[in-house]
Structure 1
Amino acid sequence: MYKFRDPHGRVIYVGKAKSLRSRLNSYFADITSLHPRTRQMVTTAASVEWTVVTTEVEALQLEYNWIKEFDPRFNVRYRDDKSYPMLAVTMNEEFPRLFVYRGPRRKGVRYFGPYAHAWAIRETLDLLLRVFPARTCSAGVFKRHNQIGRPCLLGYIDKCSAPCVGRVTAQEHRQTVEDFCDFLSGKTDKLVRQLENRMQAASENLDFEMAARMRDDVGALKRALEKQQVVLGDGTDADLVAFATDELEAAVQVFHVRGGRVRGQRGWVIEKAGDVVDTSTAGDKSDLPALVEQFLTQFYGEQASLSAQTADGATNAVPREVLVPVLPPNAEQVQTWLSTLRGSTVALRVPQRGDKRALAETVQRNALESLQQHKLKRAGDFTSRSAALQGIQEALDLDTAPLRIECIDISHVQGTDVVASLVVFEDGLPRKSDYRHYAIKEAAGDGHSDDVASIAEVTRRRFLRHGKDSGGDLSPEASLDPQTGRPRRFAYPPNLFVVDGGAPQVAAAAAVLDELGVTDVAIVGLAKRLEEVWVPGEVDPVILPRTSESLFLLQRVRDEAHRFAITFHRSKRSKRMTASALDSVKGLGETRRAALVSHFGSVAKLKQATVDEIVEVPGIGETTARAVLEALGVEQREPVEPGDADASTTPVGDDESALPPTASTSPRTGQPAE
């Protein structure tokens, strides 16, 4: 196993080789013959390290762990595309919920998919809800209807069993959800037979309405099954993988077949990079076995990790069979590793004939189509990004192209709730894992001077962090956190530091860099009015052509910083405004304020509460409850005891004899009491 590091100690590539000498010779023998991406990696690298392992299975596991830990920029990453929706079932709740979900998996939630389109999930879910009337509403909607005692529209049209109002018990609702999950897991024939038997029994008992309902339910299930056609008649659980490649990129498609039916599909388009292959003997497909190995180790390693976090005994991350276009170089070791992840034997093979071969060809056609669509959509993207970085280098007279750009922006409303954002772009693309928020201490003065001071503060904090992380040491060890062993994100400086503003803001940031002794970072400002690029110490700005890719990239970086800052500002301002009405209550700290708002849901609902209801919140006494209502401007009335002389009020008019002596007015309505 070996790692390439850049001059700042970052790991930029990890790989494995049986002979490290021959592998390194292939990298450095004739650099002009290398793949463009590999050539860039070699010229970026400053050092190489290696680790000796005893078996290839250990090498596979270590390679996966290193890629996950260091996130090397030149390694292929098969990350899940968050645009692929899944059907999620929250089995960890008392009343499980069904909903469409995108994003990382969570513990205690079962997932089905991913699917190509969210509308496909909703269409299938709409069909199945008449058979499995499970809850689909959010926690807020569920709580609200529980409080008002009426179900939502789905409850009235029998597409929800309305557990919110107690129509079914928690156990009955969970059984409905488990039947729904069994149906999606492939246990379809059993459920259809059960419904048909119930329909027949209802018909024999002359309960024709129930029989008709069962008939419609059976029809709904069969229509849902038609959308999941059986593709492998033997009920196989398998993943079929296909690749379509050109000189620079590779498209990957995976079909997930469970119980003989295609349960999900996903795909990626990645830039090819990494180990050098000998194309003189194997032809133009010689890199395919290496791509297969990279995919299997990364994809199933990640899936096994997610499954370990969300395991509920329902499915396995690795299927019984993995069908690939070609076997990887060390197929036996990869198969052993996959079997270890699954906990039982996994077959890794190439389909040769029959239904599996035909389905593999379908997956291959999908991969080819995906690559063609990607190339049409992104035909000029790589060229434009390279041209943009090259144009910035030439316009600002930099030594190298700014491969890492950082930008800061300030957001506030008339000097209040001042926040800042820092966004990072690498190779012209956003690196969102390195984004940062900053809360700025508010200072008196006009907005212009506040912006300048805030820019200076954020710049100082960012580069103090750089100095703390690196300590002036550029060795590989200096970029690692001694406690976690993970790379420090800010142990290296940007090539270009952009501030949102003109000459004053740039001068403030440049003064901070001079004060801290940072000399290897270029700094510019991008003014919104005329999109001028300001350089420290220059009287006139740099004017980039309005149609240039360089200006477009700087604008994109600046706009992303603005978006990130204003999102944080709105969140902070919203929290402040929510709790501001309670700030004046003596003895009510932040924890109890949060408990109050959380208990009632909002300040508006808190205003409608009584003292007795507020006292139910843990930590709130009667005195504090009265103080809360007083701070919210709620008029408090003393409880009226029966027979209390003070409870009566004089009726309209001056004649107290207008009412019988025993009559009094109601303290709530002001009308004569009965």
Structure 2
Amino acid sequence: MADPASYRPRPGSIPTDPGVYRFFDAFGHVLYVGKAKNLRQRLNSYFADPKALHFRTQTMVRTAAKVEWTVVANELEALQLEYTWIQQFDPRFNVKYRDDKSYPWLAVTMNEEYPRVFVGRGAKKRGVRYFGPFGQAWAIRETVDLLLRVFPMRSCTQGVFNRARSSGRPCLLGDIGKCSAPCVGRVSPEEHRAIAEDFCSFMGGNTGGIIGRIERDMYDASAELNFERAAVLRDSLAALKKVQEKNSVVLSDGVRADIVGLADDGHQVSVQAFHVVDGRIRGERGWIADRADDRSLSELLEAFLEQLYTDDLEIPPLILTSVEAEDTLIADLSVRRGSKVDIRVPLRGEKRALLDTVVRNAEMSLAQAKLRRSTDLTSRSLALEELTDALGLEEPPLRIECFDISHTMGTETVGSMVVFEDGMPRKSEYRRFIIKSFEGSNDVAAMSEVLHRRLRRLTDERTADVKVDPTTGEAARFSYAPALIVVDGGLPQVNAAAAVLREHGLDGEIALCGLAKRLEEVWVPGEEYPLILPRASEGLYLLQRLRDEAHRFAITHHRSRRAKTVVESVLDGVPGLGELRRKALLTYFGSLRKLRQAGVEEIAQVPGFGPRLAASVKAAVADTGGEAINLTTGEVTEA
């Protein structure tokens, strides 16, 4: 038996989203299928102390050799997908759903004189209208109970109906208004059938009217201080919305399609494919490959589908993708299939929802591959060796610092420094820089200033032999010189950085290079032409990670400063509004749009605010134009 620790996923690599997981044995057979509202929490429980597990679960995790998971949108979709895969794979360690049980349907017997509504399971019958299936039987039963107040149709069995008809007395549902009592002639067969048709119309999608009415009744009950009735209506509304919740992992019966989603970060591409048969997901596969060239996603899709549909996989009549396909690909697959193949990008509806799920899984697979690659000791060692050879260094650069500049039209210019040691981020030593020495857009001057400040700190600590930072009391960190400095940019940025190194007398001690975004060129001081590393090079991958991390760190700092500057400029001149109260507004509302939309009474509820100050703030933000600033990200949009 296998040791569960040998295939346990890396810490943090399991998402916290709802989904379905599968345990496989060494031969690729599915041993167990399960669902989870939180995949990380559920899967971690399998790798806890084996003594705390049930004997059957212990046997399963020791027999398994691999675990995979698929992320979906909600718990209902996870339940539906789990059921489908248990029926398909028949895992030996699954007990649930191996019998003839199935998901509940809502049925209306339109083939009877007095149609009846009920919740049932099993095979469908002719003449009965079905809705569903649904994930939770309790939710549909509560909804039916609610709808019977609006559509009082028959819900009793034939025996109860016949007894009421012979006695001339309706049952309790007729007395409390949940049935129109056709058994005693209160309504004619035609009137009762019309009620049943309205019920079916509502369940078929005409839900706006009844939901709006329930919401209005709930708010009216709350306004009248009838909180008990409001609570009942609130719970009924929740059950109604639960039953109407969209399920994007189940399509219409008879649908045969493949859904293909792509995720690309410029260095690697991830492809995820769901195979749908009769409206159910019958299979799921994923691939990750390094980018070997600059081909577009449409060209990569064509190459992928040409390889996917070999002799052992039938071409479906419908292929849904996240990128547009070329006409030549559609024609070629149609010829190979012998009939028309439709390849398209859905924009809305259940097919779009399922495609979004596929793309999300592709993105997560790509993130997991990047995490495995960045934490793999062999890959990191190879990356450092490749950089040593490419840059002509005497020894591997164990400490690398990367610098980037971010601004908006020359305003709020900031710089960032990220540190990698042994090929891994050292986030405790990241630093941000605020550029105030000049105005305007000048990335080269900004890069020069950032490096001056960084290297001056290095030389000052060395000269003073500083061992402890006087401001924090911690050990001085910047007396340790980097082996390599990477700047985000081409030859101008590299030349500016080289000048700074010479000025501080460090040009013979610290290596330098720049990474240009356009063609991923590596620029070295004194060289007329850049270095071109292979696309699959681990050394290039490490430089790209450094550049992307420095860019992310700079952008985050820039956005936070831009948001703060915008708010301060808007609220300048408001009497009595100091720094603490500004922060309170930021925390309470989160964006200027929400602050503008708020009334004086709502602003006055912010801690430290009163009616007079709230009125001043409202007057200040009322004339700020049509822009909305997210105070967390700094994004500017139209209000």
- TM-score w.r.t. the length of structure 2 is 0.39
- TM-score w.r.t. the length of structure 1 is 0.37
